[in-house]
Amino acid sequence: MDTVKKNKKPNVFVRLWDSVRNWFVSFGKRFVDGSLGTKLSHFIFGAGNFYHGQIIKGLLYLLLQVGIICFMVFCPEVNGTPYGYKALINLQLGGTEGRTFDPETGEYSNSVSDDKLQLLFGLVTIAVIIIYVLLWLSNIKSSYKADTDQKEGKKPTSFKQDCGALLDNRFHILMLTPTMIASLIFTILPTIFMICIAFTTYNDVDMSSEETTLFYWNGFNNFIYMFSGQNALGKEIAARFLPVFGWTIVWAIFATFTCYFGGILLAILINKKGLHGKKVFRTFFVLTIAVPQFISLLAVRNLFNNVGPINSILMNLGWISEPIAFFGGTSGHPGNEYLAKVMVIIINMWLGIPYTMLMTSGILMNIPTDLYEAARVDGASRSKMFFKITLPYVIFVTTPYLISSFIGNINSFNTIFLLTGGAPEVTGYKAGGTDLLVTWLYKLTIDNGEYNTGAVIGIITFAITATITLITYRRSKAYKEEDTFQ
């Protein structure tokens, strides 16, 4: 039954067109079929509810409509920046208006902070308009439902019944609303804001030169600078972009696979039959997961310090004559870039192997033992059993983990920031030898105020991770059959 349905499914665009058409048809039908109240509620919120005697619900709708219209018309101001229709006009981002030229000092003073408020408030206003439209639709729907209830001879639901429904078949609305509101304000809105920033000229760099400071829409120019480098600033960024991008990918590949296979090997070692003290050994390794990362990483950083124990042991052994700057060193003595890269990967193994070990331990125990028995009877060697049974089984089960840890490593901020801080310094644009895209993004936005360039890098990072996820994750059985798991 299911497969037949799947085969007959028309393609995406046809389905989309169908659903859009159906939506408009039902919308028209409601207007024509509906009672006077429903027709009126297309213009006045809650009219249909009043018509059916649902006074409280109608009042709530009306209040929301009046509130939003007041918000749009009267434009409340915060810090001198208006919301409402004025915010929509401000969204054009006039550029020059936020900036004044002082002829006496010959300097530009700009009010970038107000400009970015304009963008933010414009986005908030758009969100309010979307909420208005959704309310409008829900108000028509609720009125139409009361119509059909009446036609079928039922009484329209009372306010008390509606509230009761929130605890029963509309329980999800009650439960999800807090999260939806919170994440709309603190996750979705900021993300959209930063995406918008990528298409503007917004940054705090170089207050005196004219072209960089004006705040206006810049189209795809930031992206173009990133790859081709048109002006002086763009050239510097473009010169560093490919090395950082390349290192991010190399890092992600190495960090993922070293930890993955190292963890599997360690798990096999620990879970060996006949080995005593499994728990003790496991505790030692799990300790690195349990200790907060900022502690363990900073501890390692100090351990490899110029005057730290590692360097002094090496010097006492006579292997080196002066301390090695393992993690890049100071600006006076920039260490070797490649040494720092290798060190970061090795320390990451120290951090990451226990994770994989913990995960695969459980999986190893689930491998059917008769597989090994059969192999032993056939005279297979230990290494053959490992490569032909254990490894394929573990890899098969943990592929989703492999993908998610790859993505996690692309965004692995803590390891790099706490270990090296991006050092060693490389001549170029505020990106050191071990900087990943995310740490570069952090440096550009938080330290240097280059918000637009930082946002471009954020979007590129998103593009990489999203591509990987879309290709692998959506194809996986786990995603498609998520429902059937229970």
Partner 1 sequence: MSSAILTGQRKFRSQKKSNRIALIADYIVLSLLSLIWIIPILWIFLHAFRVQFNDAGEINGNVVSNFFPTRFGFDNFIDLFTARVNGVDYAFPRWMLNTLIVAVADCILSTFLILSVAYCISKLRFKLRKPFMNLTMIIGLFPGFMSMFAIYFLLKSMGLSGFSPTDDNRWMALLGLIIANSAASGMGYQIAKGFFDVIPNSLVESAKLDGCTNFKIFWKIILPLSKPIIIYTALMSFMGPWMDFIFSQVIIGASNTEYLTVAPGLYNMMFGAYADPSNFTKFAAGCVCVGVPITLLFMFLQRYYVEGVTAGAVKG
Return the residue of 35, 305, 336, 448 that touches partner 1, per CB under 8 A. 305
Binding to partner 1 by residue 442, rule CB under 8 A? Answer: yes
User: Closer to partner 1 at the Cβ: 47 or 344?
Assistant: 344
The partner residues of 101 in beta bridges, in order of sequence, read 108
Alpha carbons 362 and 272: distance in angstroms, whole number: 13
User: Closer to partner 1 at the Cβ: 366 or 427?
Assistant: 366
Return the residue of 22, 100, 109, 293 that touches partner 1, per CB under 8 A. 293
Residues 344-373 that bind partner 1 (CB under 8 A): 350, 354-355, 358-359, 361-363, 373
Pull the structure tokens for residue 66.
């009046």
Shortest Å distance, C-beta 283 to partner 1: 7
Alpha carbons 87 and 65: distance in angstroms, whole number: 19
Shortest Å distance, C-beta 441 to partner 1: 6
User: Closer to partner 1 at the Cβ: 51 or 285?
Assistant: 285
Pull the structure tokens for residue 51.
């018509």
User: Closer to partner 1 at the Cβ: 124 or 239?
Assistant: 124
Whether 219 contacts 373, CB under 8 Å: no
Alpha carbons 361 and 325: distance in angstroms, whole number: 37
Shortest Å distance, C-beta 260 to partner 1: 12
Binding to partner 1 by residue 179, rule CB under 8 A? Answer: yes
Pick the stretch among 54-62, 100-108, 126-134, 433-441 that binds partner 1 (CB under 8 A): 433-441
Which residue has tokens 């139409």? 144
257: left (phi over 0), alpha (psi -120 to 50) or beta: alpha
Shortest Å distance, C-beta 45 to partner 1: 22
The partner residues of 217 in beta bridges, in order of sequence, read 200
Shortest Å distance, C-beta 407 to partner 1: 7
Return the residue of 17, 27, 101, 171 that touches partner 1, per CB under 8 A. 171
Pick the stretch among 135-143, 144-152, 290-298, 427-435 that binds partner 1 (CB under 8 A): 290-298
Q: Helix, strand, or coil here: 216?
A: coil
Residues 116-145 that bind partner 1 (CB under 8 A): 116-117, 120
Binding to partner 1 by residue 16, rule CB under 8 A? Answer: no
Alpha carbons 14 and 189: distance in angstroms, whole number: 32
Q: Residue 78 belongs to what H/E stretch?
A: strand 77-78
Binding to partner 1 by residue 298, rule CB under 8 A? Answer: yes
Question: Which residue intervals of 366-450 are DSSP H helices?
Answer: 369-377, 382-385, 391-410, 413-419, 437-442
N residues, the chain: 486
Residues 239-278 that bind partner 1 (CB under 8 A): 266, 269-270, 272, 274-275
User: Closer to partner 1 at the Cβ: 146 or 438?
Assistant: 438
Shortest Å distance, C-beta 79 to partner 1: 7
11: left (phi over 0), alpha (psi -120 to 50) or beta: beta
Count of residues binding partner 1 (CB under 8 A)? 107
Shortest Å distance, C-beta 59 to partner 1: 25
User: Closer to partner 1 at the Cβ: 79 or 105?
Assistant: 79
Helix 112-151 with 12-33: angle, nearest 10 deg: 60
Binding to partner 1 by residue 223, rule CB under 8 A? Answer: no
> Percent helix, strand, coil in the chain (nearest 5)?
70, 5, 25
Alpha carbons 339 and 345: distance in angstroms, whole number: 10
Neighbouring residues of 403: CB distance < 8 A, sequence distance ≥ 6: 468, 469, 472, 473
Residues 146-165 that bind partner 1 (CB under 8 A): 164
Alpha carbons 285 and 351: distance in angstroms, whole number: 9
Question: Which residue intervals of 271-381 are DSSP H helices?
Answer: 278-290, 293-303, 309-316, 337-365, 369-377
Strand bridging mode 99-102 / 81-82: unpaired
Binding to partner 1 by residue 238, rule CB under 8 A? Answer: no
Shortest Å distance, C-beta 137 to partner 1: 13
Shortest Å distance, C-beta 47 to partner 1: 26
- Binding-residue pattern over the window 181 to 220 for partner 1, x denoting contact by CB under 8 A: -xx-xxxxxxx-xx--x-----------------------
User: Closer to partner 1 at the Cβ: 199 or 417?
Assistant: 417
Pick the stretch among 83-91, 132-140, 152-160, 443-451 that binds partner 1 (CB under 8 A): 443-451
Nearest C-alpha neighbor of 421 from the set 293, 298, 256? 298
In this structure, is the dihedral angle defined by the CA atoms of residues 244, 247, 253 and 257, taken in order, positive or negative?
A: negative
Residues 458-477 that bind partner 1 (CB under 8 A): 458, 461-462, 465-466, 469, 473, 476
Residues 403-432 that bind partner 1 (CB under 8 A): 404, 407, 411, 413-414, 417-418, 421
